[in-house]
Amino acid sequence: MINIEKASFDYGSIEVFKNLNIKIEQNTNISIVGPSGCGKTSLLYCIKGLRKLSQGTIHYENINQEDIGILFQEDRLLPWKSVKENILLGLDKTLDVEKYLDMVGLKGHSNKYPSQLSGGERQRCALARVLIREPKVLLLDEPTANLDELTKESLQDSILKLAKDLAMSLILVTHHIEEAVYMGDKVIVFDNQIKEIDTIGNNRLEERYFKNVKKVRLAIKGEKNE
pLDDT of residue 192: 66
Per-residue CA distances from 141 to 48, 137, 157 (Å)? 12, 13, 16
- Does residue 129 sit in helix, strand or coil? helix
Measure the CA–CA gap between 135 and 59, rounded to whole angstroms. 17
Question: What secondary structure does DSSP assign to 114-127, as a single string?
Answer: GGGS-HHHHHHHHH
pLDDT of residue 86: 96
Measure the CA–CA gap between 88 and 90, rounded to whole angstroms. 6
- C-alpha neighbours within 13 Å on the C-beta side of residue 18: 6
pLDDT of residue 137: 95
pLDDT of residue 193: 74
pLDDT of residue 225: 62
Neighbour tally for 68: CB within 10 Å: 22
- Ranges under pLDDT 70 in the chain: 192, 223-226
